Amino acid sequence: MAIRTVLRMGDPRLLEPSRRVEPLDTPELHALIADMEDTMKALNGAGLAAPQIGVDLQVVIFGVEFNPRYPEAEPVPYTVLVNPVLNPVGNEMEEGWEGCLSVPGMRGLVPRLSRLRYLGSDQFGRPIDRTVSGFHARVVQHECDHLAGILYPMRIRDLRNFGYNEELFPGEDLQEE
Ligand code: NI
The single-letter code of the amino acid at 124 is F
What is the set of domains in the chain, with CATH numbers? 12-168 (3.90.45.10)
Neighbours of ion ligand 1 (CB under 5 A): 100, 177
Containing 103, the helix (H) or strand (E) segment is strand 103-113
Q: Which of 143, 166, 167, 176 is catalytic?
A: 143
pLDDT tens by residue, 124-169: 999 999 999 999 999 999 999 999 999 999 999 999 999 999 999 9
172 is catalytic: no
Q: What's the sign of the alpha-carbon dihedral 106, 35, 76, 68? A: negative
The number of angstroms, rounded, from the C-alpha of 54 to the middle of its chain's C-alpha atoms is 15
In the structure, what pLDDT confidence band is assigned to residue 68 with cuts at 50, 70 and 90?
confident
Between CA 10 and CA 13 the distance in angstroms is 9
pTM for this one? 0.96
Cα 69 to averaged position of ligand 1 atoms, centre (Å): 22
Cα 100 to averaged position of ligand 1 atoms, centre (Å): 4
Between CA 133 and CA 116 the distance in angstroms is 6
Q: Contact 114/134 with Cβ under 8 angstroms?
A: yes
